[in-house]
Structure 1
Amino acid sequence: EQSINRLSQEHIQHQRGLEKQKELLDKLRYEQQESRVRQQTVTEQLDELAMAPETVLQQMPADADETLWKHKVDDLTSQIERLGTINLSAIEEFQMQSERMKFLNDQHADLSEALDTLTQAINKIDKESRQRFKETFDKINAGLQEKFPKLFGGGQAYLELTEQDVLDAGVNIIARPPGKRNSSIHLLSGGEKALTAVALVFSIFELNPAPFCLLDEVDAPLDDANVGRFSKMVEEMSETVQFLFISHNKATMEIAKQLAGVTMREPGVSRMVAVDIEEAVSLAES
């Protein structure tokens, strides 16, 4: 009986051990099945990526940690979920915006190139304008300094710029007739201003001669001495410029080759009268 009891106890213990082994076996089978499913899933993923498992295993680092990688995957998945709904039209919008950006960049490049060209043209024009203005200014100034003493019988006159930049500067006329110390043309009398203006205009005419010059009673505010010098200069310049002048001064009329006037012999009736000076002189001499 004791042996039977002992054997019964051993049988019960073996039964319990067997049950534990069965449970462990079932657990291993379950884990094996789970591993097969995971293996199949990973194999399918590798097939989609056109990667062989052997290649992946060879390239896998020695310190590979599946748990750490899984945490990273879960973290990235969580971040993707927080991004919200995926905009399926984002690629098309990106392409449209990229094309628009390329168009705008091309436009910007064209405008920048045009701006550079325009800037170069402006600089070239400014440089040429400064050069031509300076040359013209110097020639007119030299002509004024030459003609002013002839018209006034002495004195001096010259031009000066109000600023250093010739493109932004104004021009002042400094005129000093004989016996005066004026610093500006505004301090001159009417006749002196007129004669100074004549000197300036004649200097410009010498620089760029015109076919004819029209003078309207320029000699009106001048005295007899100034009228004589004015008439002499007009007569000298008439060799290159045809002068048409309106005058009531006899001294000025004496230098004209043709006279044309308006007379009213009868009340309310005007007539044009023309006189050829050379013909009139020849008739008078005969």
Structure 2
Amino acid sequence: QAEGARAEADRAVRASDAAASQARELRASLSARLEAAAERLAEITTQIRETARVEPEDLARSLADAAIAIPGDAGGMEAHLYNLERQRDAIGPVNLRAEEEAVEHAARLETMQAERLDLTGAIGKLRQGIDELNGEGRERLVAAFEVINEHFKALFESLFEGGVAELRLVESDDPLEAGLEIFACPPGKRMATMSLMSGGEQALTAAALIFAVFLANPAPICVLDEVDAPLDDANVDRFCNLLDEMRRRTQTRFIAITHNPVTMARMDRLFGVTMAERGVSQLVSVDLRQAEAMAAQ
């Protein structure tokens, strides 16, 4: 019996040794695997920090908040990380000044919108001012046109000793954009535009229009450059009579440049250029009223 008990004890010892040996081997294996896992965890941590530039704990919280499913195994995590890297690369380079630039652009946009409002207001005021000026211009133009037209009709009838003439605004209903046309009917002729009249008739008609403007808005001086050139003696006399009438009705001084002796004889003073000596010009002035008085004596 003692030997049997001893044998049973030996077997128990051997079984315990075998179990202890297996436990030591398992412990060594688990320690090795734990060390490998720790090393792998350190590599992944380093990779996360270098690649994602974030702490693993922060990344885990972000993924949890975003409710993104993360694979439990390492291979799945690597595949998932690879997919994330591809998505990141597809986005392109990151502008680190994007937020600052957004603020700058927002401020610039606000400034431009304020300037746009100012410009819109200025344009509105400018258009209003233009409309007011155009309205006033139309009124003044129409008023001046009516006054000049009445004077023109009277002067034309006086110059031609009859006949009818008038001014008309043509080609537009807007006085500011309309053209001016002269319609005249000398005695014994039909109403026609000025372009269909003879040279003498055109000269007298133009003189009537010029003097009509001077009656509506007199000027200190009026220079007439050979207006009487296309006129015969009878029409020159009518032209001079009109000059005398204009002198009585206005304070305008008329200077007539002419070679016509009839016109010269009707003037108050003559100015001319003579050459008393060869190559030497001399200005000559003659007061015809004084000359007539001296001749009468």
Residue 275 (str. 1) matches residue 283 (str. 2): no
What is the root-mean-square deviation in Å for CA atoms of aligned residues?
A: 2.8
Shift of 1:260: 2.1
Q: How many residues get paired? A: 214
1:144-163 map, 5 Å: 144-162=152-170, 163=172
Give 5+ residue unaligned stretches, structure 1: 1-71
Q: Deviations along 1:83-105, whole A, 9 cap, x unmatched? A: 95797654433322221211111
| 2:201 corresponding residue in structure 1 | 192
| 1:261 corresponding residue in structure 2 | 272
| 2:258 corresponding residue in structure 1 | 247
Whether contact under 8 Å (1:157, 1:175) holds in the other structure is yes
1:50-89 map, 5 Å: 74=67, 89=97
| 1:284 corresponding residue in structure 2 | 295
Q: 1:219 to 1:107 in 2, by over 3 A?
A: same
Bigger mean CA offset, 81-90 vs 260-269: 81-90
Bigger mean CA offset, 202-211 vs 92-101: 92-101
Q: Deviations along 1:53-85, whole A, 9 cap, x unmatched? A: xxxxxxxxxxxxxxxxxxx963799xxx89957
Whether contact under 8 Å (1:182, 1:188) holds in the other structure is no
Distance, in Å, in 1 between the alignment partners of 2:87 and 2:126 is 50
Query: Which amino acid in structure 1 is aligned with residue 186 of structure 2?
Result: P
Q: Deviations along 1:148-200, whole A, 9 cap, x unmatched? A: 01011111111111111111111111111111114210000111111110000
Query: Which amino acid in structure 2 is aligned with residue 241 of structure 1?
Result: T
| 1:95 corresponding residue in structure 2 | 103
Q: Deviations along 1:258-277, whole A, 9 cap, x unmatched? A: 12223456666654332211
Shift of 1:113: 1.0
Distance, in Å, in 1 between the alignment partners of 2:138 and 2:144 is 10
Shift of 1:227: 1.4
Residue 220 (str. 1) matches residue 213 (str. 2): no
Distance, in Å, in 2 between the alignment partners of 1:185 and 1:178 is 14
TM-score under structure 1 length normalisation: 0.67
Distance, in Å, in 2 between the alignment partners of 1:263 and 1:95 is 85
Distance, in Å, in 2 between the alignment partners of 1:277 and 1:201 is 26
Query: Which amino acid in structure 2 is aligned with residue 74 of structure 1?
Result: A
Query: Which amino acid in structure 1 is aligned with residue 118 of structure 2?
Result: D
Residue 231 (str. 1) matches residue 240 (str. 2): yes
Give 5+ residue unaligned stretches, structure 2: 1-64, 71-83
Q: 1:267 to 1:75 in 2, by over 3 A?
A: same
Distance, in Å, in 2 between the alignment partners of 1:233 and 1:147 is 8
Query: Which amino acid in structure 1 is aligned with residue 143 of structure 2?
Result: E
Question: Helix, strand or coil for the counterpart of 1:200?
Answer: helix
2:124 to 95, 106, 116: 116
